[in-house]
Amino acid sequence: MRRESGSARTGSPPSSSPGRPASSASTAAPANSSRPVFTSATARDGRRVRFLHNWSWDEVSVPVPAAVRDVLSETAYAEAVPLGPWDVKVLQDEVS
């Protein structure tokens, strides 16, 4: 499906199978989907920023090495971070 909006176009990629939604390709989990995955970076102020992903249908609790704060909800976590199914959290180390 494609829609025109001024000079820009939006749409979804074509599906290899007409009966299969194109969005199903974007929800495929990585091979190690049985456990949460994280990546991290260092912010300009020197604190670690962690991106925590749960690529499963199960709720999980992930232990953290130090106190962190969810940058979107402002929730602080001291020992573990709960993740819902297919959840993502962006966490930053707490300032001591």
Split into its structural domains, the chain has a count of 1
Q: Is residue 37 part of a domain?
A: yes
Residue 88 lies in a domain: yes
Is the pLDDT confidence value at 90 over 80? yes
Specify whether the CB–CB gap between 62 and 89 falls below 8 A: no
pTM above 0.75, yes or no: no
Q: Which residue has the tokens 């969810």?
A: 70
**Structural domain includes residue 22:** no
The predicted-structure confidence for 63-73, as pLDDT tens digits, reads as follows 988 899 999 99
CATH code at position 79: 2.60.40.1180
Return the number of other C-beta atoms located less than 10 Å from residue 62's C-beta: 18
CA 12 to chain CA mean position, Å:
21
Mean pLDDT of 40-49: 90
State which residues form the domain around 66.
30-96
Percentage of the chain surpassing pLDDT 90?
47
56 in any annotated domain: yes
